[in-house]
């Protein structure tokens, strides 16, 4: 039992450090040796846990990237009422976290989708599946809002979900080099104005 816990702790540390390095340098510009140097591990220790760099990265996608997207953007809006209020809180909170995290450059999911597009079908499939889970969750939230009388029935939930995702990813990209605090404020102001156009007037 203790041996398994130690192995899991080692793998978690490897994945966390690996994500930071891949995110900063890019997957294709990072070697296993680069990761090992940062971790102070031997090649034998690495290959004891993972067969290859690709398998290592896939474990990062499944265990860290999905969890990060889920905890920031999916879990906070699941099954709750008044979707515009909940989405407002969710996006504002996620952007606030980004504003104070120097390592969170851009949006981890879209950054890797851009890097792997056309290069690695297995990994791009996994990344796109995470994007799809987020999209489906947003559509479900908006559809529930229509059913519950919060959002106008004529609103196209799929189109709104696409708009929310693309605008959120876009502002995350702008926050890398721009004034993160100001960009977050402006984005949230415009988002709130947009929400006013799709809610049921009370």
pLDDT of residue 100: 74
Let me know the angle formed at the C-alpha of 69 by 63 and 71, rounded to the nearest 5 degrees: 90
Question: What are the start and end residues of each CATH 1.10.10.60 domain in the chain?
Answer: 1-50
Is it the case that residue 191 has pLDDT exceeding 60? yes
How much is the pLDDT for 178? 81
DSSP 127-160: HHHHHHHHHHHHHHHHHHHHHTTSB-TT--HHHH
* Alpha-carbon span 25 to 19, nearest angstrom: 10
Architecture, CATH, for domain 53-198: Orthogonal Bundle (1.10)
| Average pLDDT for 145-162 | 96
| pLDDT band (50, 70, 90) for residue 18 | very high
Indicate the pLDDT class of residue 130, thresholds 50, 70 and 90. Answer: very high
User: What pLDDT sits at residue 106?
Assistant: 62
| Residue spans in the chain of domains classed CATH 1.10.357.10 | 53-198
Q: Which residue has the higher pLDDT, 5 or 190?
A: 190
C-alpha distances (whole Å) from 125 to each of 25, 27, 118, 122, 186 are 22, 16, 11, 5, 33
The CATH fold assigned to 1-50 is: Arc Repressor Mutant, subunit A (1.10.10)
Tens digit of each residue's pLDDT (9 = 90 or more) over 49-103: 999 999 999 999 999 999 989 999 999 998 878 999 999 999 999 998 887 765 5
- More confidently predicted of 175 and 189: 189
User: What's the whole-number average pLDDT of the chain?
Assistant: 91
Decide if pLDDT at 1 tops 70: no
**CA–CA separation, 125 and 116 (whole Å):** 10
- Strand-pairing partners, residue 151, are 199
Q: Is pLDDT at 139 greater than 90 in this prediction?
A: yes
């Amino acid at each position: 039992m203790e041996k398994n816990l130690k192995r899991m702790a080692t793998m978690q540390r490897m994945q966390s450090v690996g994500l930071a390095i891949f995110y900063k340098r890019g997957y294709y510009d990072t070697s296993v040796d680069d990761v090992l140097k940062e971790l102070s591990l031997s090649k034998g220790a690495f290959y004891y846990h993972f067969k290859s760099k690709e398998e290592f990265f896939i474990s990062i996608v499944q265990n860290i990237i999905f969890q990060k997207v889920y905890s920031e953007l999916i879990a906070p809006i699941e099954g709750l009422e008044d979707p515009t209020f909940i989405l407002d809180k969710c996006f504002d909170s996620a952007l606030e976290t980004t504003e104070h995290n120097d390592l969170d450059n851009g949006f981890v999911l879209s950054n890797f989708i851009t890097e792997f597009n056309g290069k690695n079908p297995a990994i791009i499939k996994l990344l796109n599946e995470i994007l799809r889970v987020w999209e489906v969750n947003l559509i479900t939230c908006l559809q529930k809002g229509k059913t519950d009388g919060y959002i106008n029935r004529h609103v196209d939930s799929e189109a709104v979900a696409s708009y929310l995702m693309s605008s959120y990813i876009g502002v995350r990209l702008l926050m890398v080099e721009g004034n993160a605090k100001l960009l977050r404020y402006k984005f949230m102001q415009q988002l709130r104005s947009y929400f006013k156009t799709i809610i049921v007037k009370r």
